[in-house]
Amino acid sequence: MRYEELRQAVWRANMEIVDAGLVEVTWGNASGVDREAGVMVIKPSGVPFNAMRPEHMTIQCLSSGEVLGGSLRPSTDSPTHRALYHAFGSIGGIVHTHSPYATSWAQAVKALPCLGTTHADHFRGAVPITRSMRDTEIASGYELNTGAVIIECFAKNRIDPLQVPGVLVAHHGPFTWGSDPTEAAVNATVLESLARNAVYTLAINPAAEQPGRELLDKHFFRKHGPGAYYGQDAVNQTSS
């Protein structure tokens, strides 16, 4: 994917999270990566979404963070995005929002439990919460260390980032990712919906429990992995 194509894709993902009601003011960002070219494209810092155009997206060297294109400063969260691209080698897009329900779980420092099949369709298990950041991590390299605590959380809990494409950063908010910026934006929308559903479920029944693993895995794997059969392609291949 050439730079201008990637800029278009990243700009569209930023517009998609606005249209989905996941961001207000300038709170949020989407990025995309071209691993072959070694570049990342991300929203500029502090620019209102309604004023942004594809040419405003900033191009950075994935390894160094050096700005390679664009006249505006990149998002302050770009070190977090770069850290995740380095750690999770199969992802191609990242979205960060401050959407109200997912952010509420993050501020409560609670993982988002998998309470039903709607959740299991998209995330194989709870959406984890990171540990709180240490004062030294906040004082120096805050954004880079935000990425580090996400990476630590997935490694410590042996979570596959392709099966759980999102995280709640303690006291902060959600990050999601996907194969490209569009999929990352879809996962951000899904995460917000699941966070809202969990709030309603626990309001009705505070003792609600996670269903059995067999049911949850059935829902996850019918949409994901080599045995997936959900969707028109699978139907067309098996129908006579």
Catalytically annotated residue among 121, 160, 200, 229: 121
Map residue 112 onto helix, strand or coil.
strand
User: Residue 146: what residue type?
Assistant: T
Residue 91 φ/ψ, nearest 5 degrees:
-90, 150
Q: Quick check: is 142 catalytic?
A: no
Token pair listed for 1:
């994917």
Partners of 97 in the β-ladder: 28
Alpha-carbon distances of 13 from 37, 51, 76, 106, 162, rounded to whole Å: 20, 15, 18, 23, 19
Distance CA 188, CA 87 (A): 20
Distance CA 111, CA 123 (A): 13
Instruction: Write the secondary structure of 152-178 as one string of H (helix), E (strand) and C (coil).
Output: HHHHHCCCCCCCCCEEEECCCEEEEEE
Catalytically annotated residue among 142, 229, 230, 233: 230
Q: Quick check: is 180 catalytic?
A: no
Token pair listed for 76:
């302050």
Is residue 63 within 8 A of residue 78, CB to CB? The reply is no
Sheet with 58-61, edge to edge strand ranges: 67-69, 58-61, 39-42, 28-34, 93-97, 173-178, 166-169
Residue numbers annotated as active site: 121, 230
